[in-house]
Amino acid sequence: MSIPNHLGKYEIVDILGKGGMGTVYRAHDPSIDRIVALKTIRRELLDGGNGESMVDRFRNEARAAGRLNHPGIVAIYDFGEDQDVAYIAMEYVDGCGLGQFIKHHDARFPIADVVSIMIQLLEALEYVHQRGVIHRDIKAANLLITASGRLKITDFGIARIDAANLTLVGSIIGTPNAMAPEQFLGREVDHRADLFSAGVVFYELLTGARPFTGPAEAMAYQVCNTEPPAPSSLKADVSVEFDEICARALAKRPEDRYADAEAFCAALRLAYERAFLSPASPLLSEETVVMTAQAVRERLAALKAGAPAAAAQSTSAPSMSVTPTQWQEDTLRTVERQLAAYIGPLARVIVRRAAASSADLGELYGNIQDKLDSDEARKGFRDGLTRVGLKPPAMETAASPGGTSGVAASRTGASGTTGAGITPADLERATKALARHIGPIAGVLVKKAARDVGDLASLHAVLAAKIDGAAAQARFFEDVGRQA
């Protein structure tokens, strides 16, 4: 297969995959020295009679996702046409499609991780819907799980934007196994169609099976007329609380579903708390993060072995990089190797997570050292970094009277505890409240802030400062039970 050297200003590096609409390339943007994924429309589609509508739909994807800025949504950078090819330049991430992951690993996620995935999905959908965008094709294949355990929504190709005329009432557009009844019937579609599709994803994650199956005609009939079996009837470990949530999300009439993604998410959190007597976490478990990271490594190895079409994501789920932009890849790999001597393969996950919330090497070390269970291990890790030329500036501070380095003492205190009067329940409540606004990184930020402040009021003030907008900050204070 011939690969172009350039598309527009982008230098083509290699092929990531090929799907129904076209090819996805890994490319370099020389203007700002950034690697991107270029999603293209196949030439034969452009040459056909529906070429103009395909380009319109492609442009619509760029418009829909390009106006969105959320950690749970794949970023869109550019739209262009070159050599009779239309393309979208988007974020490049090391990750695997949720549907692909489920299919290839033949395993269900733990219930806690199912809920975590759904919380991330629904929070992203709430953001999308508040900005007048309806995705209209939410399905496992259009959801990415990155190597750091973060969910991202991709493929806004058939999204409907307020005042857009591309997708009209009377058209049937979407993927049959995840479409809402009103989509099959060609009726007006609003944000509740996305909630129905999210219910399909939830059902599949809980049971390992889709609620509606068979040829398109059979699925259309089932979606519009039949109720799928309750998840708990298929899997004994599924709480009946989740049966009720699935039933409401998959209601035939839009008005019988949840009013919005926020209400769906709130019901899910409440059901989890009732079933497991503990709050749901927006963070995936370390075990699942490690398993996901391994899947990403396997996919990249397959790509290097020369099997891009089979191993890479389809065009609806391009591969992307999770390396924080302020970090050099070689630096992170060096830190990973030093840490792996003490904790094994989990080092990669911990370093990547810590780097996402660290501004410099000193802060990165401070975030990582808490994972080591002894002063000897922390000293060995620190000395190992120094030997390879990565001595963080913060390490040069004077040692505390107890012999702990200044960076360690400032973060953990003499006993490794949080500020006075801050309880585990306070931290859990703050994490949940903050995660509504900034996503799964909330847990890391709360733990870090709790070690640096003296009391609960100060903790809340520090965390609120990380949220954009006075209204959102006020909501955070309300959620943690404190006046702004």
Q: Which residues are catalytic?
A: 137
Query: What is the per-residue DSSP string for 125-150?
Result: HHHHHHTTEE-S---GGGEEEETTS-
Centroid of chain to Cα 189: 25
Burial of 390 (0-12, 13-18, 19+ CB in 10 A): middle
Strand partners of residue 80: 87
**Residue keyed to tokens 């478990």:** 285
CA gap 367, 363 in Å, rounded: 6
Burial 227-260 (b: 16+ CB within 10 A, else e): ebebbbeeeeebbebbbebbbbbbbeebeebbeb
Joined together, the tokens standing for residue 327 give: 């970090």
Parallel, antiparallel or unpaired: strands 95-97 and 76-82: unpaired
Inter-residue contact 37 to 312 (CB < 8 Å): no
Burial of 105 (0-12, 13-18, 19+ CB in 10 A): middle
Burial of 452 (0-12, 13-18, 19+ CB in 10 A): middle
The beta-carbon contacts of 475-480 under 8 Å, at least 24 apart in sequence, are 475/436, 475/437, 476/433, 476/434, 476/436, 476/437, 479/429, 479/432, 479/433, 479/436, 480/429, 480/430, 480/433
Neighbours of 401 (CB within 10 A): 8
Neighbours of 274 (CB within 10 A): 10
CA gap 428, 426 in Å, rounded: 5
Helix ranges (DSSP H) in 322-390: 329-343, 347-356, 361-369, 375-387
